[in-house]
Amino acid sequence: MSDDDRSGVPGEPGAPHDADAEAGDGPPGGSIPDRLLIGDVLSGAVRRLVRPAGLLLLGAYLLVGFAGAVATTTLFAAVFPRLRTFLVENAAVSAADLPPTDPSPLALSVDPSTAVGMVLVTALLAETLHVVAIRVFARDARAFPREALHDLAPRAVASFLANSLAAVAIFAGLVAFLLPGILLAIAFYLVRAVVAIEGAGVVAALRRSWQLVAGHRVRVLLLLLVVVLVGQVATLPGSVAEATALGAFTAAVVGVVLGAVVTAFGSAVAARAYVQLAGIDAAATVEAGGDGTGEDGDDDEEPLGALTPEEIDERFDD
């Protein structure tokens, strides 16, 4: 464990005073609560976001967010005119029902296949950044921990696949009947964190997230609502800018910047929620007489004991 990582572990000999312990980032005395503490999750997320490592990640989110905005608006600009022409020619709609739209100032002039490739590449870049961010925000490190980049490619791919499956299930649930979609969104909220920190596979991550959230669904829903509300509020400045003389380009830039902040905040919230719920689950396993190992005796399948910053660091160092 590096000095920067160790400095954030409460009670470590020679460590400086930890502001997180005083500010309420976790229960007093290192005890494990029996429910998700929403205030601790949010405050811990904000504190980690404004640290040097968090600000570095925020800059990365800004770059990836800008690339993603260019890719998605380029895809829309390449596909929509063709789709509109097809619908009008086949009498599905009239030209008046589907008026042409002005392309985003961020859109590039490329063919649809290139635009699709751009979207896929930026989506994988974004997923990789999400995995790195969660592994950083789950720790107490002040500086960027190099261990957060360990085994990154397979975890990013697994996270992309697992979250894609979860998204399809959630969408189907929302279309079929609203409530199942909401319940699935809650159940699969920690899929990315499970892959990033535990290195779980696709199916195992879905199952593990379901297990961690069980018994805490109402509080996880409230946490999700807070993140969604923050995201909605962040869209207001861009909307105002677009309606004024500042123009569409300024609105697009403002949207990308605020979107990067909201996305980084969302990753920090997910990481802190995972740490709490994994600790609660592990403590319950110990109280029930289990040893925290998986069915095959592999102690990497489940956290051992109450998940502490030291244990998280050891998991990264494996």
Per residue in 63-91, pLDDT (tens digit) is: 999 999 999 999 988 888 888 777 777 76
Tens-place pLDDT, residues 185-215: 999 999 999 999 999 999 999 999 999 999 8
- Mean pLDDT, the chain, rounded, equals 80
Q: Does residue 18 contact residue 10 with C-beta atoms inside 8 Å?
A: yes
What is the phi/psi pair of residue 315, to 5°? Answer: -65, -40
Question: What is the average pLDDT across 103-125?
Answer: 90
Query: Does residue 112 register a pLDDT over 70?
Result: yes
Euclidean distance between CA atoms 53 and 119, whole angstroms: 27
Query: Does residue 128 register a pLDDT over 90?
Result: yes
Does 22 reside within a domain? no
Euclidean distance between CA atoms 280 and 98, whole angstroms: 52
Lowest pLDDT segment from 43-52, 69-78, 169-178, 289-298: 289-298
Strand, helix or coil at 216? coil
Structure tokens at 120: 């896929």
Does 73 reside within a domain? yes
Euclidean distance between CA atoms 282 and 285, whole angstroms: 5
Does 13 reside within a domain? no
Does 24 reside within a domain? no
Other C-beta atoms lying within 10 Å of the C-beta of residue 44: 26
What is the phi/psi pair of residue 105, to 5°? Answer: -65, -15
- Range of the structural domain that residue 231 is part of: 34-317
Tens-place pLDDT, residues 19-40: 444 344 655 445 677 789 999 9
Please indicate whether residue 5 or residue 290 has the higher confidence score (pLDDT).
290
**Which pTM value belongs to this model?**
0.79
Position 287, amino acid: E
For residue 160, the model assigns a pLDDT of: 95
- Report the number of distinct structural domains present in the chain: 1
